Structure 1
């Protein structure tokens, strides 16, 4: 870690990273008796909107201490990680942000072939951007992801698929940009998409702390308690049992595939009365 008692991060947007941040702070709290009090702090408060690639470089340079990203070969080669899916498979289920005027068009979509008549928008640096090309889905990419909602609103593409924890939060958090946009009610994409905690290879101390902390929060029930606090309403609102689920291929190497856990296929939160 950089300064004593802090863990530096650059992924700080609450609408997108709130659960990952809260889980990290829970882990730090649960391990404080052994490792000492610590908390996450934002890298350079004056530097907002740091790109994903920039965050990776900052971890390489030891200017931050922790990332929370999907696994890919370059990360596996360069960093240490804990192969535990922070979101318990939830990110593999994607719902669509669309223009309210397009509701009837999307009601006709039943298969991936139908979806190929539409153009998606997505962050070109995000780990699952290649999903579009692999599945022959037209896409408009944007390096500056903050403009995607505005682009959708102004007809640059037809949909912007988001994780269940992201879709409604982003519409609410950016209400000035999202008038006329809604979460589509009948469809969801599904593919194996997980998020791990990543550490510099020289930072065995922090990785060990997170490994022990994860075991603690899983054993004492506080992980599920935090998960329910963040996502119970979203799971209910998403109503996945009554959506048409379109399974799509996800590009991953054998190296990445071997680290994916069972939650990629059987998330506990889809069970009755979890």
Structure 2
């Protein structure tokens, strides 16, 4: 009897109503309830998975536990969560450890443009900064495990690291270090969250830039999941839905930073090899305030 029913069961499983188990994906949430840095990344993952639903099937997208960058990198390397898609700046050591990296800069280069939090008492001294040598007289604070530490130190800056993201705002306001520089896409939301801190200020005239592409990384066990996400990101770039999402999440903060009105200091990122970015990779130019075609890539050079 069972054998006579098998053809019918196979036909039913080929019907549109027969769904496979959804593929489980995991994203990194903010470190605290006030930390909104992951909002765009989470929305982009959902967009990429929707774009690929027809070819890859249904999905679940759930948060991992709250964690700092060091903990997130440990979870990635251990494969602690199913299809954990971790957005990170390029870190050679991750690939040397066998981790997989997507090819597309999903932030479109915006986070490399940095505007700094500082303490209000330091604003007159910063207003007198007109060259990079003068700027190097001010110390920076950055988070533990952030690639910015290596970039700033290589460019001649003194850097102090802090374990907890939220503590960076308190320590720059209190004067433990002079500058806490943030991507212009992050600035407004963080200012609204921490503006009540005594002495905290946004420096109004200066902007740093160093190339800081952000990619999705995955554990080798999740190669198929990363392939799906990258395919969805490419589709979203091609039809403009990624750019619209980018504008929704980042546009107000970029406008708040007023990048075209600032003195721009360019630094190098010694970690980037030539040819890292996909040749069709667009980027956002905050001086022109628009998305532009890929720029020619050259080997990294020291200042």
Structure 1-normalised TM-score? Answer: 0.87
**Closer/same/farther in 2, CA of residues 239 and 93 from structure 1, 3 Å limit:** same
State the Cα deviation string for residues 13-49 of structure 1 (Å, max 9, x = none).
55222211111111112222222232431124xxx3x
**Closer/same/farther in 2, CA of residues 266 and 227 from structure 1, 3 Å limit:** closer
Question: How many equivalent residue pairs?
Answer: 265
Shift of 1:104: 1.6
**RMSD over aligned Cα atoms:** 2.4
Contact 1:95–1:167 (8 Å) recurs in 2? yes
Runs of 4+ that moved beyond 4 A? 261-266
**In the aligned structure 1, how far is the partner of 2:262 from the partner of 2:286?**
16
> Which blocks of at least 5 consecutive residues in structure 1 are unaligned?
none
State the Cα deviation string for residues 126-178 of structure 1 (Å, max 9, x = none).
012112221221222222333111111211111101111222211222455x3
Match of 1:230 among 245, 249, 253: 249
**In the aligned structure 2, how far is the partner of 1:235 from the partner of 1:180?**
23
**In the aligned structure 2, how far is the partner of 1:52 from the partner of 1:263?**
29
Aligned to 1:267: 284
20-29 or 35-44: bigger deviation: 35-44
Rg bigger for which structure?
2
134-143 or 262-271: bigger deviation: 262-271
Compare relative contact order (CA 8 Å, sep 6+) and give the higher one, 1 or 2. 1
**In the aligned structure 1, how far is the partner of 2:281 from the partner of 2:227?**
24
**In the aligned structure 1, how far is the partner of 2:235 from the partner of 2:152?**
38
Shift of 1:206: 0.7
Structure 2-normalised TM-score? Answer: 0.80
Shift of 1:196: 0.1
